[in-house]
Amino acid sequence: MPAAPLDTDVIIVGGGNAGFTAAHAAAERGRRVILLEAGAADMAGGNSFYTAGATRITHSGLDELREWLEPDERWATTVVPPYTADEYRADLEKVTEGRNDPELTEVLVSEVTPTLRWLQGKGLKYRLMYERQAYERPDGSYLFWGGLHVGNVGGGEGLIADHTRVAQESGIDIRYGHRASELLTEGDRVVGVRVTTGEGEVELRAESVILTAGGFEANPELRREYLGEGWEHAKVRGTPYNQGDMLRAALALGAGRGGDWQTCHSVQWDAFLPENESNRELTNRLTRQSYPLGIIVNRNGERFLDEGADFRNYTYAKYGKEILRQPGSVAWQIFDAKLRPMLRVEEYDMPGISVEQADTIEELAEKIGVDPAALGETVRSFNASIDRDKPFDPTVKDARRADTTPPKSNWAAELETGPFYAFGVTCGITFTFGGLKADTEGRVLSESGDEIAGLYVAGEMLGGLFSNNYPGGSGLAAGVVFGRRAGAIA
């Protein structure tokens, strides 16, 4: 019986950063590409739409970056420390506690900057992220910190808009409202996908299928099954379409599990705004990432983590989990009047933000439903334990320590000047770290290491890079690197 005719050369399932990058790479080779997006056009872009667009790359400093970033008048007074491949590699090993796959890591570290420059050459626009990754110093200059310096113009929304425009110019067939549910096979080879559309089910066939459809973070049942009790209560930061359908479809064919299926990327997220899930208007503004400057307390008025353990780029993706473990899965970030002007404007001045304000700590405690005596004692003991001989400097790890329980290792600033502010936070889940097992080219492998012909993976569906935590900006970085690799051979 003759094989069914092909609808295209390459089918890509998932219209986020990784999927579009794979599409660009395949189209560059002259391949016909269909990109399937589960959402309608006004819900497209996957998790990438909801990001700030920050991408962790290697570079030698501002002189190299100015060659291809969008110009900024502040460059003349800006210091951007180099970020080397060795530092990138070490950061991945540190935050994952050595559970990152070394071969995938090496590819990521060595190829991320050339890949971003390749995308920039196609029409994507990048800039220095002053508002997120630098503080203005007293002399008016800027110092970038934490190894994460570059992002898309327009954040995640700009990223997807640029990707879409470039794809359309290249003749890539983007099909919105097409949700893939199954993989089609002939013998041992994947030859297409079964798709649900507004008109019903269709089958699409191709020489290769690239899976870039994200993890299972939007599925409460799978979160509870793999991440554990309580994770069904986490708030979904990004797309509601990442239900794990294509992960299950690949596993059903014998694909191996890759990476850590028991942990995820989760952050501190606005606790009480009614529209605090999959919010297309506010997107990343619902995060609360100035927490290293203040303290975080639970409903008992107690601190429970080291807010200053490291730059936020290395702690924010694991602290959402710590919030989830607290009574009611909520906590409050506390700041005083001295610290309030230093908080990220786009996050802490957003419409409808969950915040309470009072002239004293005890009055603030009453407003947030915390015992005033307990919160008062927490703040007093914190203030009294600060090493005041060390100057406060948020641009470096300043070792200004609060020697209390738990300690605060850096950026300990006295909370003593009213008014005081409490921002309510809960756990916002971003993406799951477990994915499919693959080689460094993105070929999906079985548990025994055999290639599943015709099937490739990239983006959040590729397991092996992250576990428990990740360095900020390395998710989008991995998406472009392994998306390009899969698209280059599919």
CA distances from 285 to 90, 152, 353, 393, 475 (A): 29, 16, 10, 25, 18
pLDDT value at residue 1: 38
Instruction: Give 460's contacts (C-beta < 8 A, 6+ positions apart).
Output: 18, 47, 212, 214, 215, 242, 431, 432, 435, 475, 479
> 3-state class of 203 per DSSP?
strand
Place of tokens 């992250």: 466
| DSSP code of residue 453 | E
CA distances from 438 to 199, 218, 250, 443, 485 (A): 34, 23, 12, 5, 12
**Does residue 419 have a cis bond before it (omega within 30 degrees)?**
yes
* pLDDT tens-place string over residues 259-304: 999 999 999 999 999 999 999 999 999 999 999 999 999 999 999 9
> 3-state class of 301 per DSSP?
coil
* pLDDT tens-place string over residues 315-363: 999 999 999 999 999 999 999 999 999 999 999 999 999 999 999 999 9
Contact assessment for residue 298 and residue 374, using Cβ atoms and an 8 Å cutoff: no
Residue-averaged pLDDT of the chain: 97
Strands 134-136 and 142-144 come out as antiparallel
Q: In the chain, what percentage of residues exceed pLDDT 90?
A: 99
pLDDT value at residue 3: 64
Whether 148 shows a pLDDT value over 80: the answer reads yes
Contact assessment for residue 31 and residue 9, using Cβ atoms and an 8 Å cutoff: yes
Query: Which contiguous run of DSSP H or E holds residue 247?
Result: helix 245-252
> 3-state class of 463 per DSSP?
coil
Burial of 356 (0-12, 13-18, 19+ CB in 10 A): middle
Whole-angstrom distance, CA of residue 314 vs CA of residue 397: 12
* pLDDT tens-place string over residues 8-48: 999 999 999 999 999 999 999 999 999 999 999 999 999 99
Contact assessment for residue 241 and residue 207, using Cβ atoms and an 8 Å cutoff: no
Whether 473 shows a pLDDT value over 90: the answer reads yes
Whole-angstrom distance, CA of residue 13 vs CA of residue 26: 14
Nearest residue to 477 (alpha-carbon basis) of 69, 71, 83, 17? 17
Checking phi first, is residue 459 left (phi over 0); if not, alpha (psi -120 to 50) or beta? left
Whole-angstrom distance, CA of residue 257 vs CA of residue 435: 6
Q: First vs last Cα of the chain: how many Å apart?
A: 25
Helix axes 361-368, 372-384, angle to 10 degrees: 130
Whole-angstrom distance, CA of residue 99 vs CA of residue 345: 35
Instruction: Give 274's contacts (C-beta < 8 A, 6+ positions apart).
Output: none
Place of tokens 């079964």: 194
Whole-angstrom distance, CA of residue 433 vs CA of residue 259: 7
From the CB of residue 2, how many other CB atoms can be counted at a distance below 10 Å?
A: 4
pLDDT value at residue 2: 44
Q: Per DSSP, which regions of 374-432 are E strands?
A: 420-432
Token representation of residue 75: 């460059």
| DSSP code of residue 59 | B
Whole-angstrom distance, CA of residue 20 vs CA of residue 165: 10
The CA-based angle 423-426-430, given to 5 degrees, is 120
- The model scores a pTM over 0.85: yes
Contact assessment for residue 236 and residue 46, using Cβ atoms and an 8 Å cutoff: no
Whole-angstrom distance, CA of residue 489 vs CA of residue 484: 9
Nearest residue to 320 (alpha-carbon basis) of 217, 244, 422, 408? 217
| DSSP code of residue 338 | T
| One-letter amino acid of 170 | S
> 3-state class of 71 per DSSP?
coil
Domains of the chain: 10-215+433-489 (3.50.50.60), 265-428 (3.90.700.10)
Whole-angstrom distance, CA of residue 394 vs CA of residue 29: 47
Place of tokens 């914190």: 382
Whole-angstrom distance, CA of residue 455 vs CA of residue 351: 44
pLDDT value at residue 4: 75
* pLDDT tens-place string over residues 381-397: 999 999 999 999 999 99
CA 116 to chain centre: 17
Token representation of residue 464: 């092996």
Contact assessment for residue 330 and residue 268, using Cβ atoms and an 8 Å cutoff: no
* pLDDT tens-place string over residues 225-254: 999 999 999 999 999 999 999 999 999 999
Whether 445 shows a pLDDT value over 70: the answer reads yes
